[in-house]
Structure 1
Amino acid sequence: MRHTIAEIARATGLDAVGDGSIAVVGVAEPADCPPDRLAIALKPAFAEQLGQGGARVALLWEGADWQGFGLEAAILAKRPRYALSGVSAAFDPGQGYGPGVHESAVIDPSAKLAPDVAVGPFTMIGAEVEIGAGSVIGPQVFIGRGARIGAGALIHAGARIGAGVTAGDRLIAQFNAVIGSDGFSFVTPEVSGVERARESLGDQGGTEAQSWARIHSLGAVTLGHDVEVGANSSIDRGTVRDTAIGTGTKIDNNVQVGHNVVIGQHCLLCGLVGIGGSTVIGDHSVLGGASGVADNLRIGARVILGGGTIALSNVPEGRVMMGYPAMKMDQNIEVYKGLRRLPRLFRDVAALRKAVSKSSGND
């Protein structure tokens, strides 16, 4: 896969300077970039490493002194990291899934696949499934009865899509993603100790041990267009209505989305996020790595939860939250500063007590 600097610039809508005829076969970091690669130097600190490698061309920021770095050509971008999205797409060779339907795939006769859909080996596609044009279904994938997947989907090896799941166009399901597993819904014949503890803020009320009965998941999962679900992530199906993921939302690896959850459009859920059942997340919200949201909460639009933040109550729209329990970012920072001052405060109090004790002893 070889592209000239001029071709890359035209394809990504960027500006090329210098010798645009120079061709590259891929990208590399500045310090170890060979002559046939495009160095990715998104800011001055990275560009300073260009002299350690053999780069002839680089992706730089707008106004960069590319000649001063000893380059023969450059691609300049107002927002280099955003430009990397298009540049990386130009060089992505994909996973190498082959065209056509592999002979070992098992496809129910009632399934409707567009003529150009590719299906990998040992994949199973159930009854009444519909898959749109241009979709690629990797090896060892399972798609359950009545699932409907739009055009341009990319379902990587080992993914599992349950019965009745509906997805818009350009769904990406990474390796071993599970969409449409049963929700974690159980109930006891009498009021449970957990329910009593929640009502009383800690007292289980002497409740006897009870067995748990499953509440079956009768809903499914609905995903909008351009949704991505990361490796080993799981989205539970709804109890009665569908769990819903909005258009443009991106879900990282090892994320758990509980039953009946509604996630808005263009949200970002980073690795190890957990969302309790029946919670609603507003549009354009970002949940940092290892953050969590308790069940039955309302998180407003444009909310940001910092890494490791645990939301135990509703969050108004536009808030930036940190900590456990979650609080406004500025408040959390003040609390953290206070915690760091505690040892000194304890020493000061001990010194004061000692001084007071001596003073009292002298009276």
Structure 2
Amino acid sequence: MSHTIREIADALGAVALGASDLRVTGVAEPAVAGPDDLALAMKPAFAETLPQGQARAALVWDGADWQAMGLKAAIVAPRPRFAMAGLSAMMDPGQGFAEGIHPSAVIDPAADLGEGVSVGPLAVISAGARIGAGSVIGPQCFIGADAHIGPGAYLREAVRIGARVRIGARFIAQPGAVVGGDGFSFVTPEESNIERVRDSLGDQGEIASQSYARIHSLGSVRIGDDVELGANSCIDRGTVRDTEIGNGVKFDNLAQIGHNVVIGNDCLICAQVGVAGSTRVGNNVVLGGQTGVSDNLFIGDNVITGGATKVLANVPAGRVMLGYPAMKMDTHIETYKALRRLPRLIGQVAALQKAVFKPGQSD
């Protein structure tokens, strides 16, 4: 796979400078770029390492003196990192999945596959499943009964889609992702120890052994268009109503979305985030890595949480939250500063006590 500098620039809506007919076959960091690579010198700090490599062309920032860098050609983009989205799509060699239906795939006669669908080795597609045109179902994937997946889907290895799940167009799922597992819903015949602790804020009272009865998940999962799901991430089906994911939501690896959760449009759910059941998340929300969100809460639009934040109460729109329990980021930072000053403050108080109280005098 090779492209000229002009072809790449035109595809990215960028500007080609210099020897625009120069061809490149890949991209690389400047220090290790070969003569056929497009170096990613997207800011001055990256460009400083160009002499360590052999690049003849680079993706650079607007205003960069690319000729002084010893380059024969350059692609200038106002926002080079955004240009990386299109550039990486052009240069991605893919996973090598073959087109067509692999002989080992098991496809129920009652399944409906659109035009140009590819199905990999040992994949299983159940009765009533509908797969949109141009989709790729990777090796060892499972599509449950009556599940619907829109056109242009790309399912990597061992993705599991449960029965009656509804997924929009251009869905991407990384290896091991699961959509439509049962929710974590259990109940005891009498008030549970957990419920008692919630009401008492810690006092368990008389502790008794308890067994849990399973509540089946009768709902399913509905996912909008242009959603991406990271490796080994899970979205549970609803208890009665469906779990819902809006358009354009991007999940990192190992995310867990509980039953009945509703997530709005264009959210980023980073690695190891857990959202407990029946919580509602607004639009354009960013949940930083290892954020935990308790059940039955509401998070407003445009909220951002820092890494390892634990959300235990509703969050108004537009807030930036940090800490455990979550609080406004500026408040958390001031609290942390005060905590670091505590040892010094304790020492000062001890010195004052010695100055005030004479030897032998009672406190």
Scaled by the length of structure 2, what TM-score is found?
0.98
Q: 1:349 offset after TM fit, Å?
A: 1.7
Q: How many residues align structurally?
A: 362
Q: 1:61 offset after TM fit, Å?
A: 0.8
Give a deviation string over 1:237-265, Cα, whole Å, max 9, x none: 00001101100000000000000000000
Partner of 1:222: 222
Tell whether 2:117 aligns with 1:137.
no
Change in CA separation of 1:200 and 1:20 when aligned onto 2, cut-off 3 Å: same
Q: 1:207 offset after TM fit, Å?
A: 4.4
Could you tell me which amino acid in structure 1 is paired with residue 90 of structure 2? A
- Does the CA-based 8 Å contact 1:105-1:121 persist in structure 2? yes
Partner of 1:107: 107
Alignment of 1:149-168 (within 5 A): 149-168=149-168
Change in CA separation of 1:58 and 1:360 when aligned onto 2, cut-off 3 Å: farther
Partner of 2:352: 352
Partner of 2:72: 72
Partner of 1:28: 28
- Please list every run of 5 or more consecutive structure 2 residues that lacks an aligned counterpart in the other structure: none
Q: 1:359 offset after TM fit, Å?
A: 6.9
1:358 & 1:73 partners in 2: Cα distance? Answer: 81
2:45 & 2:154 partners in 1: Cα distance? Answer: 36
1:359 & 1:2 partners in 2: Cα distance? Answer: 86
Q: 1:360 offset after TM fit, Å?
A: 7.2
Secondary structure in 2 aligned to 1:204?
A: coil
Q: 1:358 offset after TM fit, Å?
A: 4.0
2:212 & 2:322 partners in 1: Cα distance? Answer: 35
Q: 1:70 offset after TM fit, Å?
A: 1.2
Could you tell me which amino acid in structure 2 is paired with residue 23 of structure 1? R
Q: 1:177 offset after TM fit, Å?
A: 0.2
Partner of 2:95: 95
Tell whether 2:343 aligns with 1:343.
yes
1:18 & 1:83 partners in 2: Cα distance? Answer: 19
Secondary structure in 2 aligned to 1:94?
A: coil
Give a deviation string over 1:212-271, Cα, whole Å, max 9, x none: 000000011100000000000011000001101100000000000000000000000000
Tell whether 2:10 aligns with 1:10.
yes
1:330 & 1:360 partners in 2: Cα distance? Answer: 46
Give a deviation string over 1:36-76, Cα, whole Å, max 9, x none: 10111221111111111111111111111111111111111
Scaled by the length of structure 1, what TM-score is found?
0.98
Give a deviation string over 1:66-122, Cα, whole Å, max 9, x none: 111111111111111111111111100111110000000001110000131000010
1:359 & 1:318 partners in 2: Cα distance? Answer: 57
Partner of 1:186: 186
Q: 1:205 offset after TM fit, Å?
A: 2.8
- Does the CA-based 8 Å contact 1:292-1:311 persist in structure 2? yes
Partner of 1:332: 332
Secondary structure in 2 aligned to 1:346?
A: helix
- Please list every run of 5 or more consecutive structure 1 residues that lacks an aligned counterpart in the other structure: none
Give a deviation string over 1:180-223, Cα, whole Å, max 9, x none: 00100000000111111111111223142211000000011100
Secondary structure in 1 aligned to 2:357?
A: helix
Could you tell me which amino acid in structure 2 is paired with residue 47 of structure 1? A
Could you tell me which amino acid in structure 2 is paired with residue 50 of structure 1? L
Could you tell me which amino acid in structure 2 is paired with residue 54 of structure 1? Q
Could you tell me which amino acid in structure 2 is paired with residue 347 of structure 1? G
2:269 & 2:76 partners in 1: Cα distance? Answer: 30
Partner of 2:49: 49
Partner of 1:241: 241
Give a deviation string over 1:157-181, Cα, whole Å, max 9, x none: 1111100110000000110000000
- Does the CA-based 8 Å contact 1:262-1:281 persist in structure 2? yes
- Does the CA-based 8 Å contact 1:192-1:207 persist in structure 2? no
- Does the CA-based 8 Å contact 1:129-1:148 persist in structure 2? yes
Secondary structure in 2 aligned to 1:16?
A: strand
Partner of 1:213: 213
- Does the CA-based 8 Å contact 1:258-1:278 persist in structure 2? yes
Tell whether 2:197 aligns with 1:197.
yes
1:206 & 1:359 partners in 2: Cα distance? Answer: 50
Could you tell me which amino acid in structure 2 is paired with residue 72 of structure 1? K
Partner of 1:272: 272
1:342 & 1:86 partners in 2: Cα distance? Answer: 51
Secondary structure in 2 aligned to 1:180?
A: strand
Secondary structure in 2 aligned to 1:254?
A: coil
2:39 & 2:339 partners in 1: Cα distance? Answer: 44
Q: 1:348 offset after TM fit, Å?
A: 1.4
Give a deviation string over 1:299-320, Cα, whole Å, max 9, x none: 0010000111110000000100
Higher mean displacement: 339-348 or 164-173: 339-348
